[in-house]
Amino acid sequence: MRSWPKWLAAGILATTVLSGCESGSGTDSDPANNGKEAENAVAPSKAPAASPPASPAAAAVDEQPSTVWYEIFVRSFYDSDGDGIGDLNGVTEKLDYVKELGAEGIWLMPINPSPSYHGYDVTDYRAVNKDYGSMDDMKRLLDEAHKRGIKVIMDLVANHSSTDNPWFIDSAQGKSSKHRDWYTWAEDKGIEKPAAVSATNGQAWHEKNGSHYLGVFWEGMPDLNYDNPEVRAEMISIADFWLSAGVDGFRIDAAKHIYDDFNTSKSDPQTAAKNKKWWQEFRTGIMEKYPDAYLISEVWDGPGTIAPYLDHAFDSSFNFNLNDSIRSAVAAERAPGIAGSLDRVYKAFEKSSGGSFVDGLFIGNHDFDRLASTAGSPEHARMAAGIELTLPGNPFIYYGDELGMKGAGRDEFKRLPMRWHSAGSGKGQTDWQKDLANPASSGVTVEEQENDPSSLLSLYKTLIQWRVSEPALRDGGIAPSTVKGDGIEAYMRLTAADRVLVVHNLKGTAQKVQLDEATAAAFAAVAHTTSPDSALSGGLLDMAPYSTVVLK
């Protein structure tokens, strides 16, 4: 929420430090449909410079109380029963690992019964995939997580079901079937020769029993018909079922595709309005009983498309543009000017949400080639972590990224087994998918990294601890800084009462950064650094190669 910093109101820094401020798709399916929303992602734009604020009142703060989350693909994570497939009891067994990492929440990728390995085509929304265990196992996981202060959200795949779902099987029987109108059939709508390109640039209509049903992602994922009030009521009831079981919220899959079905209607404002109206209805339907439920959406698009969904629909939405910006910046060793861009984005989010949004940060998830496979070097991956974990919002860490796991190409290769043991096998190690990307000699295992202070895993723990210890890093907004330099990315993080200056050297060479007089007076000490070779003296900041420094 936007508030006036006491230190600004009192005149500390006033206009001097801020004199250089700027004003500031795709979910899962069959591997053949990999990357199906990538065409909807909007490239990040560079922020133009703006006039300096005329007074301290111009430097408002978007505070975003945050939680670090950890995304888990259960099938790949930890195997408790020796069948080679990860399960819910395995996640429970490794909750202490999550806690030691510093995460305060986990996001479980789909755990419902499904004919596919990934689970994004659901056959029963009120049950647990037998490969993963039972409902009792799920409740035990929730209980044990909550004992450790860890929240749990789960994927809710609301846009479509599986063709093996009993609803669809019944719907396909004919026009008189009970669930016929739970899906969209071309012939029932008077469309005699269905031929349309879907919003994901695939085939929109698929034949079944002489009729054609809508499935914008894949023929195995028929779209549910949200014009039917029974479908809307059922999805709210399903959410109530899981919330009553103890789940703390949902990651909403393919949120913008409830009505965004065809390539020709992707830019139709009426389509976007219908999507927003439904998700507002969904939120209203659960908030009376579960006011603290956390809803984060996958709206794979630019900020202008995301912003309306933060209006009494979702608490957060994943920031795909920011993910692209961070990945590109570390690979090119070029400062992206994040603060100026986010300032403009957050103003739009604040306006839409009434100041109650929290950004959804990530530098990797199950739809992207692993960061370690694309960053160019381990140092680049370390810098990406440094940026993500010092920005506003809720950071989401994809399991294994804290180890530097690689994986690229088909979706299965982005979701390879979590690496626990240096020998490549051992207690809990899953092996449902062969891993050629992370050989035993790579050092990418928990066993090898957990006691190594120089490891990537240790860096993640350190960065998260910084976040916990500094209110401005955990809950603060962001403002641009006057600090500049080749490959130097710098920004202020601030709450109404605290502020820090974060400086990243994205280059592989040491840098000397001269702070201006006002900045040097306001930030006179190194509070945290990733390198002992980084130091501040007399306003001159010596930055080690590939390092992050937090000044207070």
Which positions are annotated as active-site residues? 253, 298
Token pair 């040491």 in the structure block, residue: 510
Task: Name the nearest CA neighbour of 150 among 248, 72, 294.
Answer: 248
Token pair 């994986």 in the structure block, residue: 407
Q: At what angle do helices 320-332 and 338-353 cross, to 10 degrees?
A: 170
Token pair 């050989």 in the structure block, residue: 439
Alpha carbons 363 and 395: distance in angstroms, whole number = 9
Residue type, 354: G
Task: Name the nearest CA neighbour of 32 among 155, 108, 116, 132.
Answer: 116
Q: How far is CA 362 from CA 86, 323, 386, 392, 399, in A?
A: 23, 6, 12, 11, 12
Cβ-contact 549, 543 below 8 angstroms: yes
Alpha carbons 28 and 85: distance in angstroms, whole number = 19
The long-range contacts involving 6-14, CB below 8 angstroms and separated by at least 24 positions, are 6/496, 6/497, 7/497, 7/499, 8/56, 8/59, 9/56, 11/56, 12/522, 13/56, 13/499, 13/518, 13/522, 14/56
Residue type, 182: W
Task: Name the nearest CA neighbour of 138 among 79, 97, 91.
Answer: 91
| 547 φ, ψ (degrees, to nearest 5) | -135, 160
3-state SS string for 219-247: CCCCEECCCCHHHHHHHHHHHHHHHHHCC
DSSP characters over 284-309: HHHHTT-TT-EEEE---S-HHHHGGG
